[in-house]
Chains A and B, each alone.
Chain A
Amino acid sequence: MENFLDASRHKRRVLVVDDEMINRELLGAILENDYEVTKAENGQQAWELLNSEGTAFSLILLDLLMPVMDGFELMKLCFADETLKSIPVIVMTSEKSAEVKSIRMGAADFIAKPYDMPDVILARCQRIIEFNEDKTIIRYTEKDTLTGLYTKQYFDEYLRRLKADIDSEMDAVEIRIDRFHLIKELFGREEAHCLLRETAALIRRDLTASRGIACRTEDNSLLVYCEHRNDYEPLITGFQEELAQSSEIRGVNLRAGIHKYEDDSISLENRFERAKAACDRVCGQYETCTAFYSSELHRRSMYHQKLIGDMQDAIDNHDFMVYYQPKYQIQGDKPVLTSAEALIRWKHKELGMLSPGVFIPLFEENGLIRLIDQFVWREAAAQVQRWKEQYNISLPVSVNVSRIDIFDPELVQKLSALLTKYQLEPHELMLEITESAYADNADALIAAVEALRDRGFRIEMDDFGSGYSSLNMLTSIPIDVLKMDMKFVRNMFRDEKSMGLVRLVLDIAAFLEVPVVAEGVEEQRQLDKLKQMGCEIVQGYYFSPPLPADKMEALLRQNAV
C-alpha cells in the first residue's frame, strides 16, 4: 500500500494565500515541482476558491496579515465548515505570538518568515499532508474480514486522496462471480465464501506485480483499480482455471467489466459505475468473460434508463396502446375470426413508435412488466366489453401473463376484479403464459394455472417449443391451448426435419386434446399445409398484422356482416 502511494505521480493541490506577490511567486516556485499550486491574494479570494473547489486542496499555506480578509478570519471560517475543516492549514508568519494563536485556532503548523530553505518548507508541507491523510483514512476499517482486500469505504477514501480520477493509466474494473447466489444455494455459504476468498487472493497476487488496489463491494463483486491492460481475457480465464484446480466447485464463471480512462470529467465513482454496467452485460454470457465499457454500451444503458424513467408517465398519458391481432379458425370452408391477441405498442412522445422487442425484455428484467401487463389487461377487458355492447359481438382476447405475475399472490383476484368490472365471462379474457416460467419455478406455475382455471380462465401455453420445453411440464400443467412458436412456421418448408417438428407439436397437442394456434403465418402455402395437417387456429400477417382498436373494430363489423 505504501509503495502504491509513493508511486502515485499525482500532485496534490496546495492553496497559497499571501497578499505579497513576491511571496506568492517565491512559494509557488518552491512548491510547484511537487504540488499543483493555486494562489490567492487575500482571505476573501481564498474563501471563494475554497467554496468552489473545496476538498480538491490538500493544504493551505496562509499569511496572516492581509487586506480585505486576514488569515485569522479565513481560519475561523474554514474550521467552522464541516468539509473545509479537514484541510490542514500552515500559517506563515514572522510573529512568535501569532504562531501560538494560530496553533490554538487549529492551524497544523507554521512556517517562519523570512522563509526557511525550500527543502524545509517542502518537508513540512509533506509531513502535514501525510499526517492529515493518515488521520482521515485511519477512521475507516481497513480490511474486509472475508477476503482480506480493502473495505469499500477505505478504498473510496484512499482513491479520493490519491486524486485517482485523473490517472489516465489506470483502469476501473469490477470482477464478479457469475450466479454467485446459485453457488451459495447449491454448495452452501461457506464454500461460496471460500471461492470468493480464493478469487480475492488471485487478484491480490496479480496486484503485487503492478500498481493497484482492490476491495470487495457487494456480496459477489470485487473492485480493482489497476494499471491499464488491453485485454483482460487471459487474466480472467487464468483465474478461472486456477479456481477450477483449487476449488471443489465446478464451472465457476468469473466476469469482468472494465472502464478505461476517457477524460478527467468522469469521476472515479462513475468510472466504477460504468465498469459495473460492462460487467452486467457480460454476466450470463458464455462466449466471453470480459467487456470494456463503450460509448455504445453507455448509450444503450442511458436509453434503457430513459425508457424505464418514462414508463409510468407513458401509461398515465396513454402513450402505450393495445393492438389486436386476429386469430382465425381454419378448419371450416372459410376461415372464421374467432379471437384476437392483445399486443402492447408504445408511441413514445419523443422517440416515436418503439418496438416491443426493445422495451419488453427490459421491463421483464426489472419487473416493470407487471405494470405493462396490468395496463393491457385493463384495456383489453374494456375493449371486449365495448365490442359486446356496441355490436353484440363477443370476441375473446388473449393477454400476456408474464413470469413475474405468476408469483403475485393476488393474480387471480386482480383478474377476477376485471371480469366483474367489465362484466366479462372468464373465457373472454384468455391468458397466455410462457413455457419458460415453468423452468423458473414449476410448482408456483402449476399452482397459479390451477387457480386460474378453477376461476374459469382459459390458459394458452405461449411460445411453445422455443425454450427448454419439457414433456413433463405438459402433463403436469393443465392447459387449454398450445401456441406453436412462430419459428416452426417460418422454417416449416426448409427441410423434412422442420416439417417433422411442426407435425410433432400438432401430435403433442392432439395427445393433450387441446387445439394448436400457429403463430407467424404469412404465406398461403403455410396456411394450406397447416390446415391439411389439422392445425385449427392461425395467427399472422397472412390474415392481418396487429391492428389498433378502431381498425380491429372495422374488421369485426365487416366480419359480422
Chain B
Amino acid sequence: MVTIEKLKEFGANTEEGLARCYGSEALYIKLVNMIPKEGSFDALEQAVANQDLDKAFEAAHALKGVLGNLSLTPMYEKCSELTELLRAKKSVDYTPLVEELLNMRKKLCIICEE
C-alpha cells in the first residue's frame, strides 16, 4: 500500500500533490496507484527503441503533465529533461535517460504493491 510517508521518501512533493487533490489523501493515493498502469511509459520506451523522436516527444510530454500534477518530483524532473531534449530533437542517446525514468517507475510500482 502506498502511503504519504512512503511517497515522501520517494521524493514526491506530497504537500503540493495533496493540495491539488483538495487535501484528499484517498484521491491522491488512488491517482498515484494508476501510475503502474500508465501506458505512456511503454509508448515512450517503444518510440525511443524505434528512434521515433516525434512519438517519443508526445509520450514524454503527456507523462510530464501527469507526473507534474501528482508532484512525483524526481520522475517529473527526469521526464521534463527528456521532453526538452526530444522537443529540440537533440541527437543524444535517450536509452539511459528512459531507463532511469523506468527504474523510478519500477520503484514506485514496488511501493504500490507492497
- Max count, chain B CB within 10 A of own CB: residue among A23, A26, A118: A26
Interface string of A90-117 (1 = CB under 8 A from B): 0000100000000000000000011101
A20 at the interface (CB under 8 A from B): yes
B49 at the interface (CB under 8 A from A): no
Query: Which A residues lie within 8 Å of B58 (CB)?
Result: 65, 67
Query: Which of B4-12, B14-22, B95-103, B105-113 forms part of the interface with chain A?
Result: B14-22
User: How many residues of chain B have a CB within 8 Å of chain A?
Assistant: 23
Taking a contact as CB atoms under 8 Å apart, the answer to whether B20 and A26 are in contact is yes
Given contacts A26-B69, A113-B68, contact A21 B34 (CB under 8 A): yes
Taking a contact as CB atoms under 8 Å apart, the answer to whether A65 and B61 are in contact is yes
Instruction: Give Cα distance in the complex from A113 to B34, angstroms.
Output: 19
Instruction: Give Cα distance in the complex from A7 to B25, angstroms.
Output: 31
Given contacts A20-B40, A65-B62, contact A29 B21 (CB under 8 A): yes
Smallest CB–CB gap between B47 and chain A, Å?
Answer: 13
Query: Which A residues lie within 8 Å of B19 (CB)?
Result: 117-118
Query: Which A residues lie within 8 Å of B35 (CB)?
Result: 22
Interface string of A402-433 (1 = CB under 8 A from B): 00000000000000000000000000000000
A30 at the interface (CB under 8 A from B): yes
Interface string of B44-80 (1 = CB under 8 A from A): 0000000000000010011011101111000010000
Taking a contact as CB atoms under 8 Å apart, the answer to whether B69 and A22 are in contact is yes
- The chain A residue with its CB closest to the CB of B33 is A22
B24 at the interface (CB under 8 A from A): yes
Instruction: Give Cα distance in the complex from A487 to B34, angstroms.
Output: 85
Q: Which of A19, A25, A118 contacts B31 (CB 8 A)?
A: A25
Instruction: Give Cα distance in the complex from A117 to B22, angstroms.
Output: 8
- The chain A residue with its CB closest to the CB of B30 is A25
Interface size range of chain A in the complex = 10 to 19
- Max count, chain A CB within 10 A of own CB: residue among B24, B62, B65: B65
Taking a contact as CB atoms under 8 Å apart, the answer to whether B65 and A94 are in contact is yes
Query: Which A residues lie within 8 Å of B38 (CB)?
Result: 20, 22
Query: Which B residues lie within 8 Å of A65 (CB)?
Result: 58, 61-62
Given contacts A25-B31, A26-B31, A29-B27, contact A20 B22 (CB under 8 A): no
Taking a contact as CB atoms under 8 Å apart, the answer to whether A115 and B69 are in contact is yes
- The chain B residue with its CB closest to the CB of A95 is B61
Instruction: Give Cα distance in the complex from A23 to B62, angstroms.
Output: 10
- The chain B residue with its CB closest to the CB of A93 is B65
Smallest CB–CB gap between B62 and chain A, Å?
Answer: 6
Taking a contact as CB atoms under 8 Å apart, the answer to whether B22 and A118 are in contact is yes
Taking a contact as CB atoms under 8 Å apart, the answer to whether A22 and B66 are in contact is yes
Taking a contact as CB atoms under 8 Å apart, the answer to whether B22 and A19 are in contact is no
Q: Which of A30, A114, A117, A118 contacts B65 (CB 8 A)?
A: A114
Q: Which of A20, A25, A117 contacts B62 (CB 8 A)?
A: A20
- The chain A residue with its CB closest to the CB of B61 is A65
Taking a contact as CB atoms under 8 Å apart, the answer to whether A115 and B20 are in contact is yes
Query: Which B residues lie within 8 Å of A94 (CB)?
Result: 61, 64-65, 68
Smallest CB–CB gap between B54 and chain A, Å?
Answer: 11
Query: Which B residues lie within 8 Å of A115 (CB)?
Result: 20, 69
Taking a contact as CB atoms under 8 Å apart, the answer to whether A23 and B22 are in contact is no
Query: Which B residues lie within 8 Å of A20 (CB)?
Result: 38, 40, 62, 65-66
Taking a contact as CB atoms under 8 Å apart, the answer to whether B69 and A114 are in contact is yes
Smallest CB–CB gap between A91 and chain B, Å?
Answer: 13
Query: Which B residues lie within 8 Å of A117 (CB)?
Result: 19-20
- Max count, chain B CB within 10 A of own CB: residue among A20, A21, A22, A113: A22
Taking a contact as CB atoms under 8 Å apart, the answer to whether B27 and A113 are in contact is no
Instruction: Give Cα distance in the complex from A65 to B19, angstroms.
Output: 26
Query: Which A residues lie within 8 Å of B21 (CB)?
Result: 26, 29
Known: A29-B22, A113-B68. 8 other contacts (CB 8 A): A22-B34, A22-B35, A26-B69, A67-B58, A113-B64, A114-B20, A114-B65, A117-B20
5 residue pairs bridging A and B, Cβ less than 8 Å apart:
A20-B40, A23-B69, A25-B30, A29-B24, A118-B19
| Contact surface of B with A, Cβ cutoff 8 Å | 19-22, 24, 27, 30-31, 34-35, 38, 40, 58, 61-62, 64-66, 68-71, 76
Which 4 pairs across A and B sit closest by C-beta, in order of nearness? A114-B68, A113-B65, A22-B66, A114-B69
